Structure formats: structure tokens, C-alpha cells
Structure 1
Amino acid sequence: MSTQPEHAVKEWISGFGVNVPRGATAPDPASLQAAAAGLAPPLVVKAYGPGLLHKSDAGAVRLGLDSPRAAAEAAAEMLARGIVPDGFLVEEQADSGVEVIVGAVRDPAFGPVLLAGLGGVWTEVLRDTALRLCPITEADARSMLDELRGRALLDGFRGGPPVDRDALVKVLLAVGGPGGVVESLDNRLTEFELNPVICGPSGAVAVDARLLTTEEPPAPSQKTRDTDFERLFAPRGVAVVGASTKRPGFGNMFLNFYKAAGFTGRLVAVHPTAPDIDGVPCVPSLSGADVDYALVAVPAARCADVVREAAGIPFVQVMSGGFREMGEPTLEEDLLAAAQTAGVRLLGPNCMGVYSPAGGQTFLGGAQGRPGRIAVVSQSGGLAGEVIKVGERRGLAFSKVATVGNSADVTPAELLRFLAADDDTAVIGLYLEDPRDGRGLYEALTTLRKPVVALVGGRSGQGRKAAASHTGGMISDTRVWSALAEQTGITLVTSQDDLIGALDLLDLHAQRPAPDNPGVLVIGPSGGASVLAADVFDTAGLDLSPLPAPATAALRDLGLGAGSSLANPLEIPVGPQGNPELIQRAVTAILAAHPYPDVIAHVNVQSFFTFGDSADPLLAYTRSVGALQQELAATRITLVIRNAECAPPGVEDAVRELARASGVPVYRNMEAASVAVTAGKRSAHGTA
């Protein structure tokens, strides 16, 4: 690790257009007075050298000195207190203003990340900062400032003058923009920090600067490949390694999965002596197996030897665990080397495999679902299986699902690039823990024109071990993922159910040309549910804008709102005795006056069976909501069936089937609907 003295860093960054104070250096107090002679008081003196990275904590900074002589005396006092510097820096003290931190650090997965926030002592007290992956744009810089909780300080607080935001944006771009400080350092960057940058009405001045670089640049990220993964998802033949004639295990399980799914290609088991296993013919080794895909389910220590025999097979998936995830990185390195020697692409290890109804691929028992437009890339095979099974139960249909486990070779980024060009895929879901090639993932998402929903595991830990600077200590996995989402337009969710729900809405609604605004109309029966719905959607950042006067007049003509005001959420009679067509009339009247891009229709299922004895009124209401969606091609309709567990068996399924057939996604509660609707709005904005 190499640390540059502050004055050298300031001289260097001034070449990027960053303003710094006028100053001079001296080796000792005796020569400091002469060095400061040309500077205008008040002055600042700082000692610099090894061990003085945090100068304030060490007592190596003095402010407000009224003369060069006072500066020299301050330096002498530092020596008397035991500070042993390489020298002293004396500078003109900047005018007071709002203190801001601007820093950059190299994230192990995603590369350089820029941080901006309230600086000085407030950095640690408030931790009010925003992040973006580098390089940033001017729009990124301005949105970072808008994210700060203390942004009012920048705009002038309690009569104070606003700071020169353009000057601060210029500093952010000089550090993290194209051709800036970060790009010039390339892989040598460890941490860079300006703290504080003092911002006022007439500009921004960096009064402190730190730079830590590495002598040996980190290894380059994984190289971009152009593999055609079509045969991974639609193999002409599959070989399973690890099936047994005596003790059935995972290999036998996968053979039965392919048989149950009705795989029509060549299916073989690998066994040195057996003629067949469970009715599937055997071959003695992968060599000459004549397949496109091999599934390996043997102990970790044997996997590399098996993979070496796979030359000529395009894709090999290692289901077995016991590699890097279990503290055995050498086994994983040997496995990757074996794949490279054999010239095969390796999926895993520690993954379940691939699912594609159209291509016959599966890692699940039972019949496959119908082919659809939803793709999923997951580092967890178990979670991917749950998404498929629960999703198909709710009516979702999948194009391609790949589990990648440890991603030793094939990475999520590489599969994303393939799916971006896949005509059968319209919507993509991700479950990630360690993307391996985070920079490649970011670049793939930046150019992707399909909606993406991501569930990220491990975001809530302690964060990274505190580094030498404030910047390094304040960047954590959670914040980097949030920055990536802001820059790429993907939606981050926090649960498996929300992942499925968002994929559902995007599958049905992503292609609708709905207006790009945060407005939503909520409509349903009266009671506290409407009030709670308003709270939920407001928390999600969605806008329940009031109904315009022409809309309220039209609603009164329909007999609504007698003796009361009409608002959003709109209360209408919905129940076993209600008119199921009323929702169509009410929504049509409102949209004629105001184009809400999203309409959330909710219903209390319990009331239909407490005050009625048949599912017919609920199904009639569902048909009416579906008909409304069919009429409104540019509006996204969402149905919330509250208290669905109160319905007799089979009714909820019937409601979902009816609604989805008309292009309407269905949710059990407002919270799930709000997550999905937000994903739809982000998608409409990001892919426009």
C-alpha cells in the first residue's frame, strides 16, 4: 500500500480542475515562516508523514492562524507533543461553508465506487452519503446530491445562501467521471478521499485530500466471452454422472427428473460396467458420450477428473458442493483448470442445473410447466426451484432458468448478456450472493433493455471491515447494490415472494405503453383497507394524486359519493350484492379526466363468503376487472384479493386464472402489490 502526502495529492488533483487552497511546504518549523510569507491569513498548518492519515485525531492540524510566525509556532508545538512528521503544509484557510465528502474506493466485486455526502465531522456522525459506480454521468452526480437527507443545507438553510451546486458537481465528475481521478488511477486505486470539500455560493474547495494506491494492481476481472448458451437450455443429449445401481443418489434422482419431464433427446447415465440404470442406457465415461450437457453428481474430490473426460461436450454442470463455499478453494481451482483443459464451459459447482420447458431441461420432479417469457439466473438452486414451482402455481411461465452456484466459470453477467438477446425472454429475475464478476454484471445491466428484478442475499451483514479512510469504511454491500440499481434501473426486492410478484407484473405489463409518472389510482370497498392502502403506496413512493373535478362529477353521475367526498383511494361498493360492472364504469370515467398509469383494484374476499354463499359474484367481479384491462391497453391494472384464505378451496386459483388470462396480475395484499407496481414503473422508465 502506498500513501501520498497531502500536498502532492492536491497538486495532482488540481490538474483535473479541482480547486485547492494556496499553500507551501517546509521540512521544519524554522523554515515554515518563510514558506508562508506569500500566503494570506488566516492560515492552516498540517503535519504530514507516515502514521498521520487522520491528522485531526493526532493533533496534527491547527486552524485560524493569523500570521506566518503563528504558523511556525504551531508547527513547533506539534513537535513538542511528540508528533514526528516528514514535513509541514501551510495553506490559506478556506472560507466557511457546507462541508462535503467526495471519495472513491475499489469494491472487490464491482470495481471503483464514488461516494458523496455531508463531510467533515458530520461524515461519521450522520453517515449521510450516496454512492454510484464509476464512471458517473452529470445526471448521476446531481441525483447523488438529491439523495442526501441533508440536501437542504446545500440549498440554503434558514436564510443561508445556497451553495454553488454546479461547482460541486464539477468536483464529483473530476473524481468519478470519464477521464477523472478514478479512471487515471486504473487498477492501482485503493482509496481516494476529499474531506472536506468546502462549498459556498461561489465555488467548492477541497481542503483535505488522501490517496492510497496499491503497488500491485488486483487481478483483472473475468474476461468477457461470447458463448452461445442455446444448447445449455436446449441440449440434444444429456449425460448424468453419479447414478448408482446399488445406492441410488442424486444422479438417479436427476435421471428420473428427465424421464418424468419427457426429455426427447439422448439421455444416458455414466457407469463403468452397468448396461443401464433405471431403464436409462449407460456409457462407460463422458468421453464419446455424444451429448451437449453433462450433469455431474459425484463427491467434490472426484469432480475434476470427471470433467477432464468431457472434451467435446459444450456444457458441464457440477451439482456437487464442497468447494470454495466450504473452505476448499483449491478443489474449485482444480475443477476450473480441468474444464479449461477439456474446453468445456462449467456451470457451478454447487448448483442444481437448468430449467427450460421449451428445451426439455429440468432439475425438478414432475411434469414441466408451459414455456413462457420469464428467465431467472440464481446462485441458489433451492431458491430457483421455489421460484419456479411457486411461480407456476400462480400462473407464471418460464423461458430459461439457470442456477450457477459458485460461478467458477459461467457467471451471472455472461448469462445476462445472452438473455439480453434471447427472443424467448422478456423479463429477467436474479438471485445473487457473490456475483464474482460484479463489474461485468453492472456493464451488462447498463445496456440491457429488458426489465430485471434482483433479490440479493447477504446485504444485511456488518459491511466491510473499516478501511483507513472514512470513504472505505462507509461503503457496504447493501449500498453498492442500491447504487447499481439507481444507475441501471433494475428493481431490488427483499424477499422471494416479492421477486415472484414483480416478475408476474412485469411479464404481464412491461410492454404496455403506460404514461411515465408515479401516479396510481386505488379503488375498492370502503373501510380501513383504503386508508392502509394509501399508507402502503405512499411509503413505496407512489403518488395517489387527487381525483380532478371532471372525474368526481362523472362519478357522482354514477351514483357514487352521495353525501361524502370522492378521493383517491376511491371507495365503491364491492361485494356479493354489488354491481360487478361498476368498477369498469368508475375507472373509465376517471381515466377520461386523468391518465393514471396504474390502477389497483382491491376486494375483500372474506365479505363475499360471509354475506354470500357462492363464488359467482367474486368471479364476476374478476371478469369485470379483466374486461377493464382488455379495454385499456395503455393502463396497468392490478388486482389485490385481500383475505383470500377465507374463500373455499379452488376459488383463489380460479380468480388468478381468470385475471391472468386477461393480463391482470393478482396479489394477496397491498404490500406485495406496491412492490410489483413500483417494479413496473421502474421498468417503464428504464426501458423507454
Structure 2
Amino acid sequence: MKSDLEAILRPRSVAIVGASNDETKRGFQAIRTLQEDRFPGAIYPVNPRRAEILGLQVYPRVSAIPGPVDLALIVTPAPTVPEVLEDCGRKGVRGAVVIAGGFAETGREGRALEAEIVERAHRHGIRLVGPNTSGLFNLPHRLNLVGARNVRPGRLALLCQSGNMALAVMVEASTRGRLGFSAYVGVGNEADIRWDEYLRYFREDADTDLVLMYVEGFKDGRAFLRAARETVRQKPVLLLKGGRSEVGQRSAGSHTGALAGSTVVAEAALRQAGVITVRRSDELLPAAEALAGLPAMRGNRVAVLADGGGHATLAADALSAGGLDVPELSAETQRKLRSILPAAATVNNPVDVAGATDADPGLFAACAAHCLADPGVDALLMVGLFGGYRIRFAEALGPIEDATAHRLGALVKETGLPLVVQSCYAGLKPEAHEILRQHGVPVHESLEIAAAAISVLARRGADLERVEARGDFVLPETPPETPAEIAEALRLGRHRLLEHEVRLLLRRHGVAVADFVLAPSADAAVATASAFGTPVAMKVVSPDILHKSEAGGVRLNVSGEDAVRAAFAGILDGAHRWRPDAEIRGVLVSPMMPAGQEVIVGAVRDRQFGPVVMFGLGGVMVEALRDVAFRVAPLAEQDARDMLDEVRGSAVLDGFRGGPPVDRSSLVRLLLRVSNLVATCPLVGELDLNPVLAYPDGLSVVDARLVLETRP
């Protein structure tokens, strides 16, 4: 099916509304660039006060143009845009790029104006890019509506919510490596065409191998995740997220009206969809260079080849910090390395050639071949001076370095394994580095950036292996009937369920909840405790008391009739002291559970992505430890298993200091059932199961709370 974006990114004719003779104006720059690039379609300047611009006839309005118009570039001020769109509608224009700011990013009046232009565009069947955008280009089609000149062509599509960030990326690409661009779209306020639509277009674009993105917020995050999951199967998607801090989120809101949302949730959601994220702007193009030129890794095991101990140590540290493994090389590989290196060399991993390459840098190729042939190696990071031997020692070493660079590039193709090079001479751009880049091998001056590039390739490999097993982000079209507990709470005007109501709801969804009885009287509490036959926990149940412990409404390890009666009376007395008019439904009585590994399972309805499930360690310490993992519901089993592995303290689940391992399968089932609950019931706003006690055989939910969704 033909995309709506065809008329925008491959138009046969373009009208420039607000065309100008002023070289500093976008209305001049766009026409000049289209002419310089020999755009194959018709160019129609529009300005009621001009007759001719750059040799082209100027029309007073779009509807006066004699031929068909696919796309309008609108560079007039924001208040004029509604009427311009009306005129475009009369002409049958199919797409419009609205450059001006002054819309949703500016506040209430701007949001109203943005809503108006979207309504007018939809009424006439016009798709909008922007507003508040820097424009777009499609270099293979010779369409450049940004006005930027000398953009290096290539196979990267750049989608960006900031014109300055886009310019910075283009400038950096022109000064390093061999990266270039197929297309660029300044997404702007995302008022009409959204991220997922652009992503689907470039997924099918034969001129694009990789999609590069700078995002501040999503209007429909879940739609983007679905599109991303489909896209990453065919080509990588690499993303830098703005608005990670509270200050950054405020800036994003004022910049594009973006809803930045929770950074932790966003990063987890993107990772779940197979999108590769970077946190620093200086990592974006190096990551793109690695993904564009090198094969994905098959695992996370990296060999380090160095010409100095310091570089070797720092490289190993950087790789380990990125979650990569630097394993010892096989005995056979070490034997082969010893046969060509001096006795002082270190050959286990990292490999330190101990000065052997000072006289013959060609040894790098031989060592690299042995490392890449090791069955326990998935990638090679080469660090130190390579490319600088002709500068540091003798010009005569230059041809040897150049030949070695060709051999290293050939090794990548022969082995199907990636190689990244770090050299302190990268800034001098020696010929050997240019040869490596011709072979798709990146060269970086920074050890940390080089290690990050390797890490990106490991993530890409893992995503390709797991993407089919992860969830598809599709929610039920028709949610089932509202659960009785939630319906009753809403009828009574409550926004929270009482604890026994949460437990009933969870139990119906197959969750292992500790036994409980809501005792309306002391006699009932005594009878219940006697029936359990163990010490019990007792908690006040009241719609008016949220913090039970602070109100004196909790008693633990209560045993015996007298103690139960005293606890019941004490709980009621404490509750009435806390809030004299509190409505008391009774006291929840449940058996004390044996000690287990405390974990937390929860869910929240994120503003960008909808229902999200959380897993973490710590129980009452979870807020201090902040060791949690998130995934967007509905989860697949692979998602749940990934969550257990992702928390930093996941080793405690497998037994710690001689303790028994917990039943991971039970935790996976719990996560899947919580996921099903929040995915099928849109009225669940927050769910908190804390603590959950995990045992070698099974688990038990000890405490639970549920807050209803009240946002529209």
C-alpha cells in the first residue's frame, strides 16, 4: 500500500509559500537549493507581492498555480497558516511542511492554533509535517527543503525533533568517517504525521539502511513501539532521547510541546522494541557508523588487541562497564600468538604485543586473525597507536600500516565478525585509518567511544535473536467487562481498592496471594487466627486510611486469643485516633509467611506507552535501591525473563551466600498475570505488590495496593 508520505518525500511538484528574494530567508534558500540540486519536478514560488524569484514566475496563492501541486512548503508566520492550508485544500495539495513555531510548544493559545491547522488539513486530506520544524530532504530524489548545502549523501535516514541537533549531526558526519544521509525529516511538534508513520516509511525505503533519531517525546508511544519492532527486523533503529532529566523534560515541553514522560520507562520500552539507544550525543554517529559498516555480534565476548598495557587495561574496563565480556582466549589461540610475539607479550586477553609492532605494525593483522579465529570471541577491539607508526617511528612504516589496514578490513568480511579500532592518532587522519573506514571499520580517538560502538553491535545481535520472542505491544481492542471490585469502588466514588479487594482481584487472575479473611469483629479475628493455626498479621481496612502503619493499623506475629483481641482493639483505637471519622470495614487477618527473598512487582499506566510492568528487588528497601526493570504490557515470556536478568542484583535470585535459588518460573508467571491484568483492564492506574516473597518452590504476595486510573 502506498504511503501518505510519498507525496511529501517524493513529490512531483513543490510550492514555496512565503517565497522571498532575501537570501537569509527560508523562502529563498529552499528555491535556491532545489535549483542547485536539480530537483526533477516543478517549483512554484508563492508570494502576492513578487512577480519573479530566481528566474521563476511567482504566484499570488497556491490555488492560482496552473499545474498540480503535491507538496507545499509553508514558511509564513503561524497566524497565516490556517488560511494557507485552506487555499492548499482548494488546490488539492496532498502534503504540507509547516516551518513556523508558535503552536503547541508556546502554551494554550498555541495549542488551539495547532488544533485548528490539523482540523483544516484533515478536512482537505492534507498530511502535515511539523509545525515548528526545520524542514526535510530526500537526497536521492533531489528534494531539499532544509536549505542546508553540501550534505553528504549516504544511506542514513535522520528523524529529529530539533533542527540544531540535526545540523550538528550533519556537520559531524561531514568531518568524520564515511557516513551520509538518504533523507531527513524535522518531526517538530508531531501534530499530524507521527514517529511511527515516518518509521514505517523508512522501513520500506530502498535508499535507507539505518534510521537515526533524536526524540524528545512521543504523541503515541505504543504505536511507535509497534512500528519499531517491525522495522528492526529489517534495519537498525538508533535513538538519542532528550528530556532525560526533570529540567530536560521542561525544556522539551517548551521546545516541541513533547510529553517527555519517564526516562527509565522510555529506555526500557525502546530496548524491548529492539531500538538501540545512546545517552550521549557524541555516541550517536559512532554507533551509527558501527551499525552501518559492521556485522552484528553473535554474543558479547570481545578480544582486546593492544600495543601497550595502559590502553589494554582501560579498554577492558570500558568494555566491562558496557556489559561486555573479555574472556580468556583459548589455549590454541594463545599458543599461536606466542609463536609470533616476544616473550614479554601478554596473550590471554587483553593481548599486549609488548612493542613488537613498533618495527612491524603488520603483526596487528596476524594477531587479529588469530583472535578472530578463536571460537570464544565475537568481536575484536584494537587499541593504541595503529595508524601512527609512520608518524611516531619512521615514514617507511606507512606502507606496512596501509597494507595491514586492507588486511584487517578483509578479515571482517572473511570472518563475519566486527572490528573496531581506537588510535590516539585518529585526529591526524592518517591514510591507514581512511583505508579502514573504506572497509567499514570505524576508527575512534576515544577508548570509551570505541567500546560503546562495540556494545551497540552486541545489542543489535541480541535484538535480532530475541525480537520475535518479545511482546508485540498490541492491547485488546475491546477490554473485557470491568471487574466487580473496580466497579464497586467507582460506584462509591473511591479511587483506590481496599486491600482485600485487590487480593480478590489478583486471585481471580491466577496470582498466588497469601490466605486472608476480612474480620468484622474481634470474635471473627480470633476464629480466623485459630483456623490458620499460625501467628497472623492484622491490618486495618478503611477507605479513609491509606498509610496503615502510620495510623497504628498494623500488627505482626500476633499469636493466641488474648493477643488477637488486644491487637484488634488496638488497631481500631489507633485508626480512630488517626482519623476520628474514618469508616472501618474490619481487620484483614492473614497468616505470617515464612521468610523468603523479597521482591516487588508492580504496574503503572505511563503517559506515553500505556500499561507498564515493573520488577525489582528490595521489598521495603526498593525506593532506596532503585534496582528495578520495566517492560510494556502485554508481556511475552521472554520479556518477563529479561526483567529478572536485568536487575543489578539478579544474582540473589540464583542463591546468595549459600542461600537457595528462588523459583524463577513462578516469578515469570506472576509477571505475565500482572501484565494480563493491566493490559485488559484500562482502569488499573497503579498496582503495587510489595513485598512478594519468592521461595525455592513458588511465591506469595504479602501486600497489595491498587489505584484506579483517573486521567482521561
Alignment TM class, shorter chain as reference: 0.5 to 0.7
1:316 — aligned with what?
A: 96
Partner of 1:375: 157
Residue range with higher mean Cα deviation, 323-332 or 259-268: 259-268
Matches for 1:127-526 after TM superposition, within 5 Å: 227-245=3-21, 249-287=25-63, 289=65, 290-311=68-89, 312-327=92-107, 328-362=110-144, 363-370=146-153, 372-393=154-175, 394-448=177-231, 449=233, 450-461=235-246, 477-509=262-294, 512=295, 516-526=298-308
Q: Is the 8 A contact 1:451 1:687 kept in 2?
A: no
Percent of aligned pairs with the same residue? 30
Bigger drift between 342-351 and 596-605 goes to 596-605
Residue 603 to residue 293, structure 1, CA distance change in 2 (3 Å): farther
Does 1:529 pair with 2:311?
yes
Q: Is the 8 A contact 2:346 2:352 kept in 1?
A: no
The TM-score with structure 2 as length reference comes to 0.58
* Residues 601 and 640, structure 1, Cα contact 8 Å, conserved in 2: yes
- 1:510-558: CA deviations, max 9, x gaps? xx3x652111111121131111111111100111111111111111111
Distance 1:442 1:542 in 2: 26
Unaligned runs of 5+ in 2: 251-259, 466-712
Deviation, structure 1 residue 642? 2.2
Q: One-letter code of the match for 2:162?
A: S
Could you tell me whether the CA contact under 8 Å between 1:583 and 1:624 is conserved in 2?
A: no
Q: Distance in 1 between matches of 2:249 and 2:426?
A: 43
2:321 counterpart letter in structure 1: T
Deviation at 1:458, TM superposition (A): 0.6
1:680 equivalent in structure 2:
457
What amino acid is aligned across from residue 329 of structure 1 in structure 2? R
SS in 2 for 1:521: strand
Q: 1:687 to 1:423 in 2, by over 3 A?
A: farther
User: Could you tell me which amino acid in structure 2 is paired with residue 445 of structure 1?
Assistant: A
Distance in 2, matches of 1:269 and 1:504, equals 38
Counterpart in the other structure of 1:62: none
Select the structure that is richer in helix.
2
CA contact (8 A) 1:357 1:369 kept: no
Question: How far does residue 627 in structure 1 lie from its aligned partner after superposition?
Answer: 3.0
Identify which of 352, 357, 377 aligns with 1:596. 377
1:576 Cα deviation from its structure 2 partner: 8.1
Task: Give the AA of the match of 2:78.
Answer: A
1:584 to 346, 361, 365: 365
How far 1:455 moved relative to its partner? Answer: 0.5
Q: Is the 8 A contact 2:158 2:184 kept in 1?
A: yes
* Aligned 8 A contact 1:463 1:477 in 2: no
RMSD over aligned Cα atoms: 2.6
Q: Work out whether 1:623 is the aligned partner of 2:406.
A: yes
Q: 1 CA distance for matches of 2:143 and 2:446?
A: 34
Aligned to 1:63: none
Within 1, Cα distance between the matches of 2:269 and 2:342? 45
Deviation at 1:463? 9.6
Aligned equivalent of 2:506: none
Contact 2:389 2:401 in 1 (8 A): no
Q: Per the alignment, in what secondary structure is the counterpart of residue 365 of structure 2?
A: helix
Whether contact under 8 Å (2:365, 2:404) holds in the other structure is: no
Structure 2 vs 1, CA of residues 574 and 629 (structure 1 numbering), >3 Å: closer, same or farther?
A: farther
CA distance in structure 2 between the partners assigned to 1:639 and 1:437 by the alignment: 39
Tell me the matched-pair count: 444
| 1:592 positional shift | 3.0
The corresponding residue for 1:610 is 392
Partner Cα separation in structure 2 for residue 459 and residue 378 of structure 1:
16
Q: 1:547 aligns with which of 329, 333, 346?
A: 329
TM-score by length of structure 1 reads: 0.60
Kept after mapping to 2: 8 A contact 1:395/1:657: no
Deviations 1:216-250 (A, max 9, x none): xxxxxxxxx97332332222222211222468522
